[in-house]
Chain A
Amino acid sequence: MAEHTATHSAAADLPWWLQPAATVTILTAFGLYAIWAALQGHGYVAPYLSPFYSPPVTIAGIPISPAWWVLWGPFGFRATCYYYRKAYYRSYFLDPVACMIPESRRRYGGETAWPFIVNNVHRYFLYVAIIVLAFLWRDTVETFFPGGHFAVHAGSLLFLVNVVLLSGYTFGCHAFRHVAGGNLDCFSCARGGRLRYGLWQRVTALNQRHAQWAWASLFSVALADVYVRLLMAGAMPDPRLF
């Protein structure tokens, strides 16, 4: 196997297992943190609503954390995302762990069989994610008006960065690229084709950095929740910048 380690020119000095190991570590840590945050049952301190709890949904008679009513959407969106698919197929399922590295698993159904066939409905999770994102934008705007007056706090900037990163990730999605114009063969002869071509080009520009948007927004959403919890615990102030 030694000769296969020279397969990646971009990271020739790094061992091939480093990237999958880092992916497993980060995604697992994020998943455990999200479960822990959801189990807390609350995530609000004025004017900040944790992104794990937005929109705040409660259903009478079902005493579970409001986070569970929300998290399935963004979770499904990321789980079926084309970038994360590459990441977890390589890292968790070793299918393949890296290019040209021999695989030990003989049975392989790809995305033709349960459970990965579900990845084909990625677009529906996109639609849910867009709805959630709209609420996150509303929450972010509200953080700039605590008590009804405009003010910029460190937390509101953090929320702004988070929602921008989430928007870049969501609207750079491959399924959105398809809906925006990728499903057309002929832009010049379609209704609204020129508009859709322009939209498709912009989505394509975002899509070319989809992996970076994916990771950055993953960290920012966790950071926003951590910030809210630190404020809730009174562990730190929320400095006003201007």
Chain B
Amino acid sequence: MSDGGSRGTAVEARPEQARWEAAPPGPRAVATFQVFRGDRTGGELRAYQVPVTEGMVVLDAIHYIQHHLDSTLACRWNCKAAKCGSCSAEVNGRPRLMCKTRVDEFGGQPITVRPIKVFPLIKDLVTDVSWNYRVNKEIPPFAPAPGDAGPWRMHPEDVERLFEFRRCIECFLCQDVCHVLREHRGTDRYYGPRFMVRIAALEMHPKDTASREELLHGKGGIGYCNITKCCEEVCPEHITITDNAIIPLKERVADAFYDPWRALLRRLRGRKEPRGT
């Protein structure tokens, strides 16, 4: 994290600065950035004029502002390669990674950069995402059968579904766009799409023996998701969050809580039917 031009920015600044200074002489394109400045007590959009370089992304512009125009601007970033999930923001109203959002796609229009709305604001573009880490701790971790600690021989058909879930970079853009968390302030009722993906990865693992259906049905709040698929639309890793994680989990919850036939079978057999058999 770099608040006000500290740490990472100083390291990253040199090549960017060199690119700007090495640009050919003559009139340069300039983009107008409306960047949110403020903290929990309030704030406003402030306009900055930033010279555009070839291949420039929004995070480059934020760095330019930090280095040349206002060193007090705070933003969180790390890899600048769309892999660490740190530089999430709302760019022209859409949750995006700033490092993956090219400036030229806006065609010279003003670019508005706001912090992600769903989490408490710390300063400028930096929000407090620690709620996610607390939620993560509430999810029972991977639990292989006792005495079956591996190493395991895994069949491709058993793990194929899980690869997609492992691509998640925890940028929390899906949490930001989820209307249950965002518009209905549902952090007390619903874990959000990110953790549906995490639970799906655990629940579908062939070696996992824990059951998280009660958690999903209860505190996890999967019933609050009404599958409007906004989370899928913003995922920078293109994870099919709704179709491959949330809906399969909803069906599993339906198995456990809403299917009278399965409930009857469970009663007759006196136990829950084991998965994967």
| Partner-B contacts on A (CB < 8 A) | 3-9, 82, 85-86, 89-90, 95-96, 99-100, 102-103, 106, 108-112, 116-117, 120-123, 174-175, 177-178, 182-191, 193-194, 197, 207-208
Contact = CB atoms under 8 A, between A and B. Distances in A.
B224 A86 contact: no
B177 A100 contact: yes
A235 B276 CA distance: 57
B40 interface: no
Contact of A82 (B155, B203, B227): B227
29 contacts: A6-B92, A7-B93, A7-B94, A8-B233, A82-B247, A85-B227, A99-B234, A103-B184, A106-B184, A108-B184, A108-B224, A110-B221, A110-B226, A111-B223, A112-B223, A116-B226, A120-B223, A121-B258, A122-B254, A123-B251, A174-B251, A175-B251, A177-B248, A178-B248, A184-B276, A187-B155, A187-B158, A188-B155, A194-B157
Interface string B86-104: 0000101111000000000
A189 to B, nearest CB: 6
A99 B275 contact: no
B93 A188 contact: no
A8 B250 CA distance: 26
Given A3-B92, A111-B226, A188-B206, A183 B177 contact: no
A185 B205 contact: yes
Interface of B: 90, 92-95, 112, 155, 157-158, 177, 179-180, 183-184, 186, 190, 203-206, 208, 221, 223-230, 233-234, 243, 247-248, 250-255, 257-259, 275-277
A51 B233 CA distance: 36
Given A116-B226, A121-B258, A3 B247 contact: no
Contacts of B93: 3-7, 100
Contacts of B206: 185-186, 188-189
Considering residues B112, B258, B259, which has the most beta carbons from chain A within 10 angstroms of its beta carbon? Answer: B258
A83 B93 CA distance: 25
B225 A110 contact: yes
Contacts of A194: 157
A106 B186 CA distance: 11
A100 B94 contact: yes
Given A100-B94, A100-B230, A207-B243, A187 B248 contact: no
A86 B251 contact: no
Given A96-B228, A108-B180, A6 B94 contact: yes
Contacts of B257: 120
Given A6-B92, A188-B206, A123 B259 contact: yes
Nearest to B105: A9
Contacts of A187: 155, 157-158
Contacts of A95: 179, 226, 228
Closest 10 pairs between A and B when the two form their complex, measured CB to CB: A186-B276, A99-B230, A112-B223, A110-B224, A186-B206, A178-B251, A120-B258, A188-B155, A185-B276, A4-B93
A111 B190 CA distance: 12
